[in-house]
Chains A and B, each alone.
Chain A
Amino acid sequence: MMEPTPAPKIECRHLWKLFGPDPERVRPLLTQGVSKTDILTQTGHVVAVQDVSFAVRPGELFVVMGLSGSGKSTLVRCLSRLIEPTEGEIWVDGVDVMKMDAAALRQLRRHQMSMVFQRFGLFPHRRVLENVAYGLEVQGMEKATRLKKAQELLDLVGLAGWGHKYPHELSGGMQQRVGLARALAVDPHILLCDEPFSALDPLIRREMQDELIRLQKMMHKTIIFITHDFLEAVKLGDRIAIMKDGVFVQVGTPQEIVSQPADSYVREFTKDVPRVKVLTARDVMRPRTPFPPNGYSPTCPPSLTLESLIPLVMDHDDLCLVLDEDALCIGELDRTLVMQAMVGG
């Protein structure tokens, strides 16, 4: 795509995290080609994150998806150095996080990055309102102001009347709304979400996903969202990174990943996806050098999903032309192409 890429909000370069007694000494072995299994059995070190690089644009919702134990939690905690990375660079707004001292790091966590946790991480001894106000409280904000602000956020996530309850008096979904409100209360630019909806049952999970989409439309935060649910990744993500054993095996838009899975591991996930809902005309068309359309063939925009494309190709025997914003035809489609895309050809 030709749009000028804005400066990334967060950028990670060659990030490594090894767990074990002496990661610095073990780390070079990996560049020498020793396998992770050997490292584990012979040195007892776990390679949780291996040479991960990526950049996230401002306002983007970047999903990291992978199975249990693939290193997602470790990665997201490395970003605010809740877990100290073994090696690598982390840049937030062009500032090197790895060079920050404890005080600067606290300021980063207080004002720029907030986190939502899988098991909510609420403080059981504080009322809901005091939980939401916690981030403001440690910033040193005055009590009346912070409680007022916290109340606004509770209203925003739909828990207006619940401020005086304790967390254990709320259902799981409500607790996670509190977690979300608490993270948003400090008005951070960046939201780190570690499987925030995994502990919720499917109905509530869908509701919370919609809630996040609604909030994101209003607030345009930069979000790094961890999940092990590919459907969730596809639903929420502007881009998805697929993680396996500490490595990013593929990064791309949901459509790119569904239409061109990088390997069999990724393809496994894409099998569960209702492809008709994800793939668009752009993903399945036969590309052409742009030319003006003839005027009588059916046309469609590149972002149209297969779902809506099917009636079009069924009703017309002709080729269907894909037009870009300048009304130039950039590709063409027929029934066979659509059918092949649907079965995952």
Chain B
Amino acid sequence: MVLPYPRIRRTYFNIALMLLLGVAAALLAWHHLGGGIGPFPAEWNLGLRQPMDDFKVWAIGNRNSHPIFLYFFTPLSRLIDSSLRQVEAFLLWLPWPVLAAAIFLTAYRVANGGTALVTTGCLLLMGFTGYWRQSMQTLALMLIAVLIALLIGIPLGILSSRSDRLEKGLRPLLDAMQTMPAFVYLIPVLLLFGVARVPSVIATVIYALPPAIRLTNLGLRQVSAEALEAAQAFGSTPRQMLFKVQLPMALPTIMAGVNQTIMMALSIVVIAALIGGGGLGELVLQALRTLRVGRALEAGLAIVFMAILLDRLSDALARLDVTGRPPRTEPFRLASRWQGVGWASHVERAGQKFVRTGDRMMGWASRFTAHPYGLLSACFLLLLLLVSLLAGWQTFPPAWKIGLEGVTDNAVRWAQVHLYNIGGRGWGTGPFSDWLTLQVLNPLRSFLTVGLPWPVLILLVAAAGLALSGWRLAVGSGVGLLLLGFLGMWNASMDTLSQVIVAVLLAVLLGVPVGIAAARHPSLERGLRPLLDFLQTIPSFVYLVPVIMLFNLGRVPGIIASVLYALPPTIRLTTLGLKQVDAAATEAARAFGSTTWQSLRKVELPLALPSIMAGINQTIMMVLSMVIIAGLVGSSGLGIEVVTGLARNQLGLGVESGLAIVILAIIIDRLAQATVQRYQQAMNLSQG
């Protein structure tokens, strides 16, 4: 019996490729010689809009009568709403010193003194922004949303770790959830869960769910086969395996999933505010609408501090080893660069004294309980609670606010005056914006819509898919592009594509050289790190405001904001890729007398290319995720369609344009990933 090997026939493959390119060239020639291929035929529209709008009418009409609302959506909304209210009321009642102390003690337990100081410091800084109440509202929303996401995500992750079919089925869904801009499901969620802040909780849950599922699944699947086999050999039931072996061993990975879930949830607070999430997001949004940069910055900083606080805390949980112990460092030992600094060593000594006292008390408490730390902490917190309540310290004192509004607004005004048009000589951000629009964006857009008729583009993309990967990618990306047309979004998609291309080019032109420089100069890398962290955690809305003031409304501020937002991965992965290049290779290059430049160009960059390409891929995805936000500041294309759909409550339009963004994102992502894999295979770095 002979089973044929599935072997790619190179000849057929080449013929197909030639055919695709040939037909594309012929069509293009015919088009430009006067054949005239029109725009994507409007009558091919799938007509999604009408049923969507009908659904909206139905949902509004039946909210108080249909059983699915009466017995499912409405009670569920009520439950979520009341738990949210209770958590919020509790956080607002809880005196801030108690919260600070609780965070300190937890962080000290699960990590170390440094983390305890940083997290508590972040909480206090949140207070100093002057928005304690809003911060606690946002925190409550986060807690509820993350809790729900975990309650759904962890069981689903467990199930999908046990069934390859479920995992395979879930994967495209999770991909879609992660690439789909939250805007797309804001309206349906609003229609189905129309109670107070519940829609924003649900939207946050949907957005934050994928990592919880993914990492639970991953963690369980990574549990060593040896441990599983041993458990099986001793006659464990499937349940015993799960609870005694798999879950405990997967715990660090699951906690990493919790960490990511929290960060995802936090990254859409501002968007959630669009449908009534309140809290800090609402503040940012209002400031944005009224163009008050300083205010937006203050509220944005509060979000950043909350992000750092929650990140460090949950990251520490993920770093506990499987035995449940933190990677202990010596108590309150300062990093070496602080050693010898006078005041720092005072802090060190005080910290160590504090720890020693704590240890002595623990020794005493362990006579009564197996968990002396917990007991002592609880006693201390209770005492602090009593004192705070008696002294009336509840909300963080508003008088302690450190206002940044005036300073920031002045700086922005200065920049607007001095950078917009430097010396009136046609230099500055204003003229740059005009140049980019007129000389780059417009020609590119008209090339994509008019110069390159739609069938030609589809054929070319399919050919690229074929050359990069194979049939599936070719057909998939071709059909995807067709779908854009069927949705009636061809021109808007091409408009968006032209902006994405320009933004990515700018990001690469800026990011790769900076990345190279950072790889060569560790001090530059160290200096860049906080800046990149800041760019990645601050809500993208925040830097939209100054960007608008400098670059006018229109497409350019959206592009600049996307570039700022998407720059970090390009820089980071370029640096990483270069630093990972085998030292032996660069040494060999030097041994043959290469100049620095030669070594970089001929050895290091080619070897780092897969990593750099992966960075560019991430950049593209991040730029795409900014499309809608750019739409808010008057950019054209798919973003503005989504925003219009949302603003005018046109469900059909919102869903169509949202879907178009998802499709565009998936096509570009798959093509980019195929390119990365091509490079990796070519270099034998991975079997990809």
Which residues A17-53 have CB closer than 8 A to chain B?
A: 26, 29, 42-44
Let me know if B226 and A109 touch, CB within 8 A. Answer: no
Which residues B337-355 have CB closer than 8 A to chain A?
A: none
> 1/0 contact trace for A150-167 toward B, CB 8 Å?
000000000000000010
Min CB distance A84 to B, Å, is 12
Which residues B215-274 have CB closer than 8 A to chain A?
A: 226-227, 229-237, 240, 244-245, 248-249, 251
Let me know if A125 and B249 touch, CB within 8 A. Answer: yes
Let me know if B235 and A108 touch, CB within 8 A. Answer: yes
The reply to whether the CB of B2 lies closer than 8 angstroms to some CB of chain A is yes
Let me know if A29 and B323 touch, CB within 8 A. Answer: no
The reply to whether the CB of A57 lies closer than 8 angstroms to some CB of chain B is no
Q: How far is the CA of A331 from the CA of B1 in the complex (A)?
A: 56
Let me know if A124 and B233 touch, CB within 8 A. Answer: no
Let me know if B240 and A121 touch, CB within 8 A. Answer: no
Which residues A184-229 have CB closer than 8 A to chain B?
A: 186, 192
Let me know if B244 and A117 touch, CB within 8 A. Answer: no
The reply to whether the CB of B361 lies closer than 8 angstroms to some CB of chain A is no
The reply to whether the CB of B378 lies closer than 8 angstroms to some CB of chain A is no
Let me know if B3 and A125 touch, CB within 8 A. Answer: no
Q: Quick check: which of A130-138, A286-294, A299-307 contacts chain B, the rest being far away?
A: A130-138
Q: How far is the CA of A117 from the CA of B234 in the complex (A)?
A: 12
Let me know if A125 and B248 touch, CB within 8 A. Answer: yes
Let me know if B322 and A138 touch, CB within 8 A. Answer: no
Min CB distance B107 to A, Å, is 23
With a cutoff of 8 Å between Cβ atoms, the chain B residues found around residue A124 in the complex are 227, 249, 322-323
With a cutoff of 8 Å between Cβ atoms, the chain A residues found around residue B3 in the complex are 42-44
Tell me whether A123 and B227 are in contact in the complex, defined as CB-CB below 8 angstroms, given that A43-B1, A138-B240, A166-B323 are known contacts. Answer: yes
Tell me whether A138 and B226 are in contact in the complex, defined as CB-CB below 8 angstroms, given that A43-B1, A124-B322 are known contacts. Answer: no
User: From B230, which residue of chain A is reached at the shortest CB distance?
Assistant: A121
Min CB distance A140 to B, Å, is 10
Let me know if B234 and A109 touch, CB within 8 A. Answer: yes
With a cutoff of 8 Å between Cβ atoms, the chain A residues found around residue B226 in the complex are 117, 119-121
With a cutoff of 8 Å between Cβ atoms, the chain B residues found around residue A26 in the complex are 1
Let me know if A117 and B248 touch, CB within 8 A. Answer: no
Let me know if B230 and A29 touch, CB within 8 A. Answer: no
User: Among the listed A109, A182, A192, which residue makes an inter-chain contact with B232, where contact means beta carbons less than 8 Å apart?
Assistant: A109
> 1/0 contact trace for B1-35 toward A, CB 8 Å?
11100000000000000000000000000000000
Q: How far is the CA of A80 from the CA of B236 in the complex (A)?
A: 13
Tell me whether A138 and B229 are in contact in the complex, defined as CB-CB below 8 angstroms, given that A114-B234, A123-B249, A125-B249 are known contacts. Answer: no
With a cutoff of 8 Å between Cβ atoms, the chain B residues found around residue A120 in the complex are 226
Q: How many residues of B contact A (CB 8 A)?
A: 23
Q: How far is the CA of A43 from the CA of B3 in the complex (A)?
A: 6
Q: How far is the CA of A120 from the CA of B322 in the complex (A)?
A: 17
Q: How far is the CA of A244 from the CA of B226 in the complex (A)?
A: 25
Let me know if A121 and B237 touch, CB within 8 A. Answer: no
The reply to whether the CB of A82 lies closer than 8 angstroms to some CB of chain B is yes
With a cutoff of 8 Å between Cβ atoms, the chain B residues found around residue A271 in the complex are none
The reply to whether the CB of A267 lies closer than 8 angstroms to some CB of chain B is no
Q: How far is the CA of A217 from the CA of B599 in the complex (A)?
A: 67
With a cutoff of 8 Å between Cβ atoms, the chain A residues found around residue B227 in the complex are 121-124
Which residues A235-292 have CB closer than 8 A to chain B?
A: none
Q: How many residues of A contact B (CB 8 A)?
A: 35
By CB atoms of chain A within 10 A, which of B229, B235, B323 has the most?
B235
User: From A110, which residue of chain B is reached at the shortest CB distance?
Assistant: B235
Min CB distance A40 to B, Å, is 12
Which residues B546-570 have CB closer than 8 A to chain A?
A: none
The reply to whether the CB of A233 lies closer than 8 angstroms to some CB of chain B is no
Tell me whether A106 and B235 are in contact in the complex, defined as CB-CB below 8 angstroms, given that A117-B226, A121-B230, A122-B230 are known contacts. Answer: yes
User: Among the listed B1, B234, B248, B249, which residue makes an inter-chain contact with A138, where contact means beta carbons less than 8 Å apart?
Assistant: B234
Let me know if A42 and B1 touch, CB within 8 A. Answer: yes
Which residues B316-345 have CB closer than 8 A to chain A?
A: 322-324
Min CB distance A345 to B, Å, is 45
By CB atoms of chain B within 10 A, which of A42, A110, A121, A186 has the most?
A121
The reply to whether the CB of A297 lies closer than 8 angstroms to some CB of chain B is no
Let me know if B323 and A107 touch, CB within 8 A. Answer: no
Let me know if B234 and A134 touch, CB within 8 A. Answer: yes
Let me know if A29 and B235 touch, CB within 8 A. Answer: no
Q: How far is the CA of A80 from the CA of B249 in the complex (A)?
A: 25
Min CB distance B72 to A, Å, is 38
The reply to whether the CB of A78 lies closer than 8 angstroms to some CB of chain B is no
The reply to whether the CB of A115 lies closer than 8 angstroms to some CB of chain B is yes
Q: How far is the CA of A108 from the CA of B229 in the complex (A)?
A: 15
Let me know if A137 and B244 touch, CB within 8 A. Answer: yes
Let me know if A115 and B249 touch, CB within 8 A. Answer: no
Q: How far is the CA of A300 from the CA of B236 in the complex (A)?
A: 53
With a cutoff of 8 Å between Cβ atoms, the chain A residues found around residue B240 in the complex are 138
Let me know if A186 and B322 touch, CB within 8 A. Answer: no
Tell me whether A82 and B229 are in contact in the complex, defined as CB-CB below 8 angstroms, given that A110-B235, A137-B244, A138-B236 are known contacts. Answer: yes
User: From B322, which residue of chain A is reached at the shortest CB distance?
Assistant: A125
User: From B248, which residue of chain A is reached at the shortest CB distance?
Assistant: A125
Q: How far is the CA of A289 from the CA of B136 in the complex (A)?
A: 100
Q: How far is the CA of A236 from the CA of B43 in the complex (A)?
A: 83
Q: How far is the CA of A98 from the CA of B122 in the complex (A)?
A: 62
User: Among the listed A43, A107, A192, which residue makes an inter-chain contact with B235, where contact means beta carbons less than 8 Å apart?
Assistant: A107
Q: How far is the CA of A236 from the CA of B519 in the complex (A)?
A: 58
Let me know if A138 and B232 touch, CB within 8 A. Answer: no
User: From A29, which residue of chain B is reached at the shortest CB distance?
Assistant: B1
User: Among the listed A82, A107, A123, A137, which residue makes an inter-chain contact with B233, where contact means beta carbons less than 8 Å apart?
Assistant: A82
With a cutoff of 8 Å between Cβ atoms, the chain B residues found around residue A134 in the complex are 231, 234, 244
With a cutoff of 8 Å between Cβ atoms, the chain B residues found around residue A121 in the complex are 226-227, 229-230, 233
Tell me whether A138 and B237 are in contact in the complex, defined as CB-CB below 8 angstroms, given that A124-B249, A125-B249 are known contacts. Answer: yes
With a cutoff of 8 Å between Cβ atoms, the chain B residues found around residue A113 in the complex are 233
Let me know if B233 and A114 touch, CB within 8 A. Answer: yes
Known contacts A121-B233, A182-B234, then 5 further A-B pairs from the complex at CB < 8 Å, ordered by chain A residue: A29-B1, A117-B229, A121-B230, A124-B322, A125-B322
Q: Sample 18 A-B pairs with CB under 8 A, ordered by A number.
A: A26-B1, A29-B1, A42-B1, A42-B3, A82-B232, A109-B234, A109-B235, A111-B235, A115-B233, A122-B230, A123-B230, A123-B231, A124-B249, A125-B249, A125-B322, A135-B235, A138-B237, A138-B244
Which 9 residue pairs across A and B have the least CB separation, nearest first? A110-B235, A121-B230, A109-B235, A125-B322, A115-B233, A106-B235, A135-B234, A121-B226, A125-B248
